[in-house]
Amino acid sequence: MSGTPRVIPNVEACIDCGGCEVACMRTWELPESSDRIEIVTHNEGEDGGRFNDGETSVPMPCFHCAEAPCIEVCPTDAVSRDDKGLVQLDEDKCIGCTYCAWACPFGAPQFPEEENSTGGAGTMDKCTLCVDRLDEGKEPACVSECATDALVFGTPEQISSEFRENRSEDIFSGGLDQVVFGDD
């Protein structure tokens, strides 16, 4: 898994401008109700700085976890790992049971059709790490258009020093780092 590229938030730099959210939605022509990447802001209006209970904005795409809970719980194997190590969805197999959303610690799986469908939640939708763009040698759209370089893209090896420097690892506390990065 060490070669799997990820998009990791640099919370020190995120200003909740929404550039990543819009870039993603626009690039993939997603329905308005889909939030493949979403910025979550904690402690709005509180002073103290990022790691002291102060206002913190965290852009959250899918982290394509090494020990992905969504893969583990999916009853139809709709969620699986591709040849890059990324966690991808086979839409045809998805039955809209939402187990993956329950299992994901980060809320990555989305159900944009939920309000319109009867009974089920509709097909799941989530961040693909812009795998089509990667094939063209481009960065994920969110990374490409982030106003303040608050999204860091690379393999754990490539980004590890920056990761530690901006204390991104702090957001993956309580065992979550194991989930996301496995033994790396």
Partner 1 sequence: MGQLRESLDVERRDFMKVGGVAALTAGIGGRTLVQETRSEEGDPPSETDEVKTICSHCAVGCGLKMVVENDALVGQEAWDDHPINQGGLCSKGASLSQTVNSERRLKEPMKKENGEWVRLDWDEAMAEVADELTRVREEYGPDSTMWMGSAKIGNEEAYMFRKLAAFYGTNNVDHQARICHSTTVAGLANTWGYGAMTQSVNDVANADANLIIGHNPAEAHPVMMRYVQQARKKGGTVIVAEPRFSKTAAHADTFARFRPGTDIAFINGLLYHIVYNLEAHDEAFLESRVYRWEEAKETIADYDLETVEDITWVPVEELKEIAETLVDAEVSTVQWSMGSTQHTVGTQNIRSYAILNLALGHTGQPGGGNNPVRGHDNVQGATDVCILSHNLPAYYGLGQGAWEHWSNVWDQTPSTSGSTSYEDMLERFESQELMEKNGLTVSRWFEGALDDDERKGELYQPEQVKALVVWGHSLNSISEMKRLKAAMENVEVVIGVDPFPGLHGSLPEREDGIILLPAATNHESRGSVTATNRSVQWRYQPVTPRHNSRRDFDILKDLADRLGFGEHFDYDDVEAVLREMNLGMRSIGMIGQTPERIKAHMENSHMFSAEDLKAEVTDSHELAGEYWGLPWPCWHEDHPGTPILYRDDVHPEEGGHDFRPTWGTEGPDGETLLRGSYEPEWWDGEIEGVPQYPLYTTVLPDPETPAAKTLPIEYALSEAHSVYDAAQALADEGYDIDPDEFAAFDNPQPDAPTGRGRARAYAWNLPDEVPVHREPVETPRPDLIDDYPNYDLQEDFYRLDLDNRGHQETFRDLVDEFPLIMTSGRQVEHQGGGYETRNTVGTANRSPMMYAEINPRVANEFALETGDWVWVHTEPGSMLVQAKVTERVNDEEVFLPFHWAGIFEGETYTDRYPDGTEPLVIGDSANIGTSVGYDVVTNMQATKATLCGLEPAAEDEIPSLSEKQQAYQRQRGLTR
Residue whose CB is less far from partner 1, 32 or 83: 32
- Tokens representing 90 are 């086979």
Q: Which of 40, 64, 67, 42 is nearest to 53 (CA)?
A: 42
State yes or no: residue 107 binds partner 1 (CB under 8 A).
no
Among 148, 157, 164, 170, binds partner 1 (CB under 8 A): 148
DSSP code for 138: P
Among 1, 55, 134, 154, binds partner 1 (CB under 8 A): 55
State yes or no: residue 19 binds partner 1 (CB under 8 A).
yes
Of the ranges 64-72, 142-150, 152-160, 169-177, which one interacts with partner 1 (CB under 8 A)?
142-150
Per DSSP, what are the bridge partners of residue 87?
A: 81
**Distances, alpha carbon 51 to alpha carbons 48, 56, 158, 181, in Å:** 8, 8, 24, 21
* Amino acid in the structure at residue 80: S
The residues binding partner 1 (CB under 8 A) are 12-13, 15-19, 21-23, 25-27, 29-33, 35, 44-47, 54-57, 115, 144-149
